[in-house]
Amino acid sequence: MAAQILSGDDVARQMRREMKEEVARLQADSGVVPGLAVVLVGDNPASISYVTGKEKACAEVGIRSVPHKFDADLSEAALLALIGQLNADPAIHGILIQLPLPRQIDESRVLLAIDPSKDVDGFHPVNLGKMLIGQECFLPCTPHGVQQLLLRSGVPIEGRHVVVVGRSNIVGKPVANILFQKQPGANATVTICHTGTPDMGYFTRQADILIVAAGRPNTVTADMVREGAVVVDVGVNRVPDASRKSGFRLVGDVDYAGVSAKASAISPVPGGVGPMTITMLLYNTIRSAKAFHQAA
């Protein structure tokens, strides 16, 4: 039987429809319009394209995105000063710093400067610590998007064995943390693999749900997947493609053709986790605006 496609496009569309109504209600009830500051430093083409996508998505649901775009030689002090202003601005409910930052700027110092109550990317250590101990917080968008993609596609997580390939701070570690929490929609048994894992296939073949975030095409091939497993491909890799105007196409970390013949469900690239990531950023921004309004 053909694998079910875990369509992030479809789930994101449905969630954004719900969010648009929520934003309209918030504005009608309280006059509050959620505001997201979008900070871009430099002209990295991938970053520009991510920022454009985020701004478009904000407009779609009625969030006011406020761009702050700078040349690549911006000083760390200037960026920290801007963050101070945004932290104090009551019309801004979320601060997004598009990563990576140029070399002269210390990324961790910048992320630490964001008020955790406006950290809608969920990268501040306060939010990551709260996530770890299972407290209310902003969850990082990609891992939260993976969880929502599974749940809203009808894939139960509780009691399943989830194997995660990758242990980065933005995907692997947080997705593992979210899914093993003793909470509804989680409560899985989680194994994490990385470059120090000998014979990775031994572990991945035991997965009911396999989440791959390695950053390399073909990290997971059909022989590494159990018949009937659910596979979520977080990877986004540009590979040269002369037939495209852009000169490249996007592929994930999973050998899609081989693995989709064995999996019961699989997320495509593009159209899988990518749209979910942006959607969870919108979700966090709306939550923040509501919390600010309730506290006022």
H or E element that contains 195: none
- Asked if the bond preceding 100 is cis, omega within 30° of 0, the reply is yes
Give me the sheet containing 64-70, strands edge to edge: 64-70, 35-41, 94-97
Whether 54 is catalytic: yes
Question: Which residue has the CB atom at the shortest distance from ligand NAP?
Answer: 168
284 binds ligand NAP (CB under 6 A): no
Contact residue for ligand NAP among 19, 165, 207, 280 (CB under 6 A): 165
Which is nearest to 230 in space by CA: 168, 149, 295, 176?
149
Using the rule CB under 6 A, is 172 a contact of ligand NAP?
A: yes
- Going across the sheet that includes 265-266, the strands are 4-5, 265-266, 230-233, 209-212, 161-165, 189-193
Q: Is residue 167 a contact point for ligand NAP (CB under 6 A)?
A: yes
17-36 burial code (b ≥16 CB/10 A, e <16):
eebeebbeebeeeeebebbb
Say whether residue 142 binds ligand NAP (CB under 6 A).
yes
Burial grade of 172 (CB within 10 A; 0-12, 13-18, 19 or more) = buried
By CB under 6 A, which span of 17-25, 58-66, 118-126, 188-196 interacts with ligand NAP? 188-196
Size of the residue set binding ligand NAP (CB under 6 A): 26
The correct pick among 175, 234, 259, 281 for binding ligand NAP (CB under 6 A) is: 234
Q: What is the DSSP letter of 169?
A: T
Binding mask of the shown chain, residues 201 to 220, with x at each position contacting ligand NAP by CB under 6 A:
------------xxxx--x-
Among the listed residues 34, 143, 235, 268, the single contact to ligand NAP using CB under 6 A? 235
Give residues with Cβ within 8 angstroms of 63, minimum separation 6.
23, 33, 34, 35, 36, 282, 285, 286
**By C-beta, is 117 or 277 nearer to ligand NAP?**
277
For the bound state, the minimum distance from the C-beta of residue 163 to ligand NAP, rounded and expressed in Å, comes to 11
Q: How far is the CB of 194 from ligand NAP (least distance, A)?
A: 4
Judged by CB under 6 A, which of 35, 140, 166, 268 binds ligand NAP?
166
Burial class from Cβ neighbours inside 10 Å (0-12, 13-18, 19+) for residue 278 reads: buried
Output the smallest distance, CB 84 to ligand NAP, in A: 27
Our finding on whether 273 is near ligand NAP (CB under 6 A) is yes
Name the residues that contact ligand NAP, by CB under 6 A.
142, 165-168, 170-172, 193-197, 200, 213-216, 219, 234-237, 273-274, 277
Active site residues: 54, 98, 121
